[in-house]
């Protein structure tokens, strides 16, 4: 039998980080039977494990692997960061016993798609003793409209601000740019810290004084 497996799990993938709770000792925990919303991750991991085993009966892959992950989201506007969902998926696959350890994944290709009617992920695993990976990046014959992204919410105040413009004086300060919330002096990209989800800007000198 060739070292190969394929897993398909319906529904939009979720990330582990969105369902963590903090204990009284400051440790992150993932509840599984609290009866609350945070149980969703543990249930999703179990769903992955179940599908991985049912769809690949009697298969156990113990060698190094190439993984090709295709993620189909319901919407192109609201979904988790694709590079963050791999941990939850491979945790579930490992729990199924289909693989021994997620460290087996030595090469990973992730592709993002959209399917409003049938969100899902499709994961293929290839044993490196039989399969190899090659890829090409080529310039398109006809360019298409770019898919644009907004900066994270904690950096929206700085993105596109005068901090991105050329320096106007020898001290690398921008005359009409953002100013520190505390000392009210102009700040540049090398001397700024954001706070309050990016709504406030503080220079590093004032930050050191606060600490």
SS3 string, 115-137, reads CCCCCEEEEEEEECCCCCCCCCC
Alpha-carbon distance of 107 to 134, in angstroms, equals 11
Answer yes or no: do 9 and 113 share one domain: yes
Residue (of 56, 152, 44, 23) closest to 92 by Cα position:
44
Answer yes or no: do 20 and 119 share one domain: yes
CA-CA-CA-CA dihedral for 90, 93, 99, 102, to nearest 10? 20
Answer yes or no: do 38 and 122 share one domain: yes
Neighbours of 11 (CB within 10 A): 13
Ramachandran angles phi, psi of 64, nearest 5°? -65, 145
Answer yes or no: do 114 and 185 share one domain: no
- Let me know if residue 201 belongs to a domain: yes
Structural domain boundaries enclosing 199? 153-210
Answer yes or no: do 104 and 47 share one domain: yes
**Owner of token pair 């709770």:** 21
- Let me know if residue 180 belongs to a domain: yes
- Let me know if residue 164 belongs to a domain: yes
Distances in Å between the Cα of 72 and the Cα atoms of 14, 86, 123, 178 are 12, 13, 11, 40
Answer yes or no: do 11 and 53 share one domain: yes
Q: What is the CATH number of the domain that holds 84?
A: 3.30.1330.70
Which pLDDT value is given to residue 156?
54
SS3 state at 191: helix
Q: What is the pLDDT of residues 103-135, one digit of tens each?
A: 999 999 999 999 999 999 999 999 999 999 998
- Let me know if residue 138 belongs to a domain: no
Ramachandran angles phi, psi of 74, nearest 5°? -70, -35
- Let me know if residue 159 belongs to a domain: yes
Answer yes or no: do 113 and 183 share one domain: no
- Let me know if residue 132 belongs to a domain: no
The per-residue b/e assignment along 98-116, b for 16 or more CB within 10 angstroms, e otherwise, is bbeebebbeeeeeeeeeee
Answer yes or no: do 162 and 72 share one domain: no
Angle at 123 between CA 112 and CA 32, to 5 degrees: 95
Which pLDDT value is given to residue 65?
98
- Let me know if residue 147 belongs to a domain: no
Answer yes or no: do 11 and 113 share one domain: yes
| Number of domains comprising the chain | 2
Tens-level pLDDT at each residue, the chain (211 residues): 899 999 999 998 877 654 444 444 544 444 444 444 456 777 888 899 999 999 999 999 999 999 999 999 988 776 767 877 888 899 899 999 999 999 999 999 999 999 999 999 999 999 999 999 998 999 999 988 887 877 765 555 544 444 443 333 333 334 456 777 778 888 777 777 776 556 677 788 877 776 5
Answer yes or no: do 13 and 57 share one domain: yes
- Let me know if residue 134 belongs to a domain: no
Answer yes or no: do 81 and 115 share one domain: yes
Q: How many residues does the chain have?
A: 211
């Amino acid at each position: 039998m060739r070292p190969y497996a394929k897993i398909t799990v319906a529904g939009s993938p979720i990330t582990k980080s969105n369902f963590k709770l903090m204990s009284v000792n400051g440790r992150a925990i993932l509840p599984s039977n609290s009866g609350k919303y945070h149980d969703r991750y543990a249930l999703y991991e179990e769903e992955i494990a179940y599908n991985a085993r049912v769809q690949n009966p009697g298969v156990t892959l113990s060698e190094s692997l190439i993984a090709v992950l295709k993620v189909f989201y319901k919407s192109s506007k609201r979904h988790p960061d694709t590079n963050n969902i791999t941990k939850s998926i491979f945790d579930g696959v490992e729990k199924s016993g289909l693989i021994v350890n997620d460290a087996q994944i030595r090469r990973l290709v992730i592709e993002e798609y959209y399917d409003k009617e049938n969100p899902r992920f499709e994961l293929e695993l290839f044993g490196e003793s039989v399969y190899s990976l090659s890829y090409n990046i080529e310039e398109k014959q006809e360019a298409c409209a770019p898919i644009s992204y907004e900066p994270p919410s904690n950096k929206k105040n700085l993105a596109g601000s005068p901090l991105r413009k050329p320096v106007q004086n020898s001290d690398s300060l921008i005359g009409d740019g953002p100013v520190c919330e505390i000392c009210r002096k102009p700040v540049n990209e090398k001397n700024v810290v954001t706070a309050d989800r990016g709504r406030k800007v503080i220079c590093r000198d004032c930050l050191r004084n606060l600490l």
